[in-house]
Structure 1
């Protein structure tokens, strides 16, 4: 019988005569082990023990995963840091988890993570096994570090390393989001105002021009035609936009070739390339330094890193670098041969390999690229702001000119008629 996490229904006669019933999930090979654990825990006699069918257990797992709330990255970092601090202070693991579960002053997300891990450990799992059961919560790098810490007896240090790593990734993402919030807001406002003019203002002015039999210049006629099409086919237009966005998101999620093409395109565009290179190299050097410092060999580290990165441009190249290392090449030499990595990073990694200080060189690279990313994000934000203002100004000048020309002609005709009538 293979080892697996199983769910049991039990009825136990307690010493004072009361019967206790419930469900128990354990990582066991034999049902007899469950009976012994129940008798030891309750000091009673097991009256009935039923192992639930595998399909029912799988259905329950699916239900739990579907209705669990999404865990924030901030909550994961808080859980890892709190656990690392308490384990380093000598607090037993189960007591540390109970503390996080019962802590009302902390985040509910931290309590939820602690509850999941506590249930798994209560069933007989080790912490790395519990992390592996929740890949939606614990990234692969964190799972690997927990396994290393568990085997080396330095779990608390690995948890603290993981927490620092997750917090640095949070900072990178927050800086990028912060820089893009204002441009996105301005862009959305421009689109909203433009849509309002085309859908409401232009049709009303077009009706007025028609009533006054005004002679319309080609620019105004074109703008009115666009407005008429938008008003007439608004529902179809909105459905088409939603459908296109949905198709793009679906293709990005489920078609690796499409996703790879998007990432390749991003790395070719002028401004996007700088942002993608800085963020990608900060991520790669950060992860690689962490894994090498933890004691993983280059092959395993590159394999983990390739699976952890979401940028397929770098993922493919990291897999090729791993293959080169498997053939006996150095990491720096393999990166140079594969291409796509900045020359400075390749050179520093090669020097680190030769001097035996690769982890320090990777730390320097991570710090350098985080600084570069900060500069790029700030510069990008400053560039986008005036560009959007110019775009908005150009759009509104176009609309105003297109709509003012007929009004100017009407005023001029009215003045000429008044002067002619007065003469």
Structure 2
């Protein structure tokens, strides 16, 4: 099997699935005016994707294990691409939401299959680490360029282009996977693998780490959504300018995620997670204190602090949730599910708040209220991370040693 094309195609698929969660945000005001979404209905453009994706991830992992990654990956790409076409051609709000759900189901089939293909194709620890780094970089790159690409497409061709332009890439990834992936990946296991979660599984640590992820995702996704509407509705930013305004957020997350492994070599993973969540809470408070007529110079520090904090906590929380005895693939699926559902539930709360806003003057109050609420959620995640440390004390040495390998 030619391994480099497998990595490139699987990483491209990961990029497409992840960028779809961010590329739409900048187009939301245009979608609202084009299809007539209400304030309470607009969050479901994002929620429908998040809930379908998060709700089907475990199913996608199970199906990929039974049928093989090749069939599930190609089928998932077909479902994802079909959902993109439905969204791009949607004549009404209900059709767009249905298309977004179809995209989420397709993404939930693609991601576990792609990750399984990478972990089996690259069998040595060093090669696998480099391959997974490329996979992770694709996801981080999607976060960084999503708002910019969404802004450019919306400004040039209007909002349907956000959904229709990735369709040829989906088709290309499906064809390439059918060409380079075998029907069944080789079994490279050298011994009996423990399936499921045994009695030594650190349930408390993993459960609390996933709770931290869900709370942090709720605060982060809702903050991005509200900031998008604030910039375009109140400040009059265009789609491209909004995408550029989010660039510090994307780069800050990358910076925080890059710093986290170095800090984890010196202090416990839980300490890094708590520090990151504290920084993120500070960023939410700074956003809440900004004036309505904010300038880019005022917005930059708050977004950067918020982003560095969330990036800093992401790596140790992931390690605490997925470095476990037994089936790590299943633990990773649970972790991804918690992040997706947490972000979706955060937007449900935001939709309720947006429904109580009736004029532009009250948007400022709504923004400040939600920013403070997001800060409170991030702080709650920090408290939960502190609780992890008690359960982590019995297992911390193994987590640190395994994450350093």
TM > 0.5 between the two? no
Higher-strand-fraction structure: 1
Q: Taking structure 2 as the reference length, what is the TM-score of the superposition?
A: 0.27
- Rg (Cα) greater in structure: 1
Higher relative contact order (Cα pairs below 8 Å, separated by 6+ residues): 2
Q: Taking structure 1 as the reference length, what is the TM-score of the superposition?
A: 0.27
